[in-house]
Chain A
Amino acid sequence: NAGVIQTPRHKVTGKGQEATLWCEPISGHSAVFWYRQTIVQGLEFLTYFRNQAPIDDSGMPKERFSAQMPNQSHSTLKIQSTQPQDSAVYLCASSADRGPEQFFGPGTRLTVL
């Protein structure tokens, strides 16, 4: 079991560019979560899919951020027109259908210059 896979591990973008982050959940897990981690705000929930359907996006910024899960083996988080304040570690986690435990990937460190 490879665990949750996130690519790339590091991404540097210029202000105004687009960034797409990829997540491959653990095989058989039905729930996928995205979190953002910064020193100041800590770990913040962004969005959650269950069986590929969006369930809760209450943490997603209203503009520029979008997430998709086109199939059970991967999810993407897209940030359009990146801004310096988007710099953070973006973490993906997956969970079995009824289990409260979430298994996290190593994260993607996004740096916006």
Chain B
Amino acid sequence: SQLAEENPWALSVHEGESVTVNCSYKTSITALQWYRQKSGEGPAQLILIRSNEREKRNGRLRATLDTSSQSSSLSITATRCEDTAVYFCATGGGNTRKLIFGLGTTLQVQP
């Protein structure tokens, strides 16, 4: 089973709508990262939220972290067509440096 898992598996919204992707993880963490991967590109980091933080914002993005339930969420407000991508949560990156990714949530933003 995956050590990190995003849900739902896929989402489709119209431009301007808000959307939330959820992540559950099974390891103890010092931080959790959200990455986005557009077609034909490698993943790119969106937000890093540390284990002592409950919320982190970056422009239209907002991440939350609940270490007691081992879950995180990424919300995007005022979505744009260019937000169409696969969104991953990733744990690790601490002493071991390697990142553990979930299978991702595919987000389609329609005009």
Contacts and interface: CB of A to CB of B under 8 A. Distances in A.
Interface in B41-71: 41-45, 48
Interface in B68-111: 88, 93-94, 96-104
Given A100-B33, A100-B93, A105-B42, A45 B48 contact: no
Size class of A's contact patch? 20 to 34
Chain B at the A interface: SS class:
loop
Contact of B93 (A50, A58, A102, A103): A102
B97 A95 contact: yes
A95 B98 CA distance: 11
B99 A102 contact: yes
Given A42-B2, A42-B102, A43-B88, A33 B42 contact: no
Nearest to A33: B98
B97 A56 contact: yes
Contacts of B98: 33, 45, 48, 56, 58-59
B77 to A, nearest CB: 23
Nearest to B40: A106
A55 interface: yes
Chain B: interface size category:
20 to 34
A101 B96 contact: no
B19 interface: no
B13 interface: no
A105 B100 CA distance: 17
Given A42-B102, A56-B96, 20 more contacts: A31-B97, A33-B97, A33-B98, A33-B99, A43-B88, A45-B98, A45-B100, A56-B97, A56-B98, A58-B98, A91-B42, A100-B31, A100-B33, A100-B93, A101-B33, A101-B48, A104-B41, A105-B42, A106-B41, A107-B42
Q: Sort A-B residue pairs by CB-CB distance and give the 8 closest, nearest first.
A: A104-B42, A100-B93, A43-B101, A45-B98, A42-B103, A101-B45, A104-B43, A91-B42
5 contacts: A45-B100, A100-B33, A100-B93, A101-B93, A103-B44
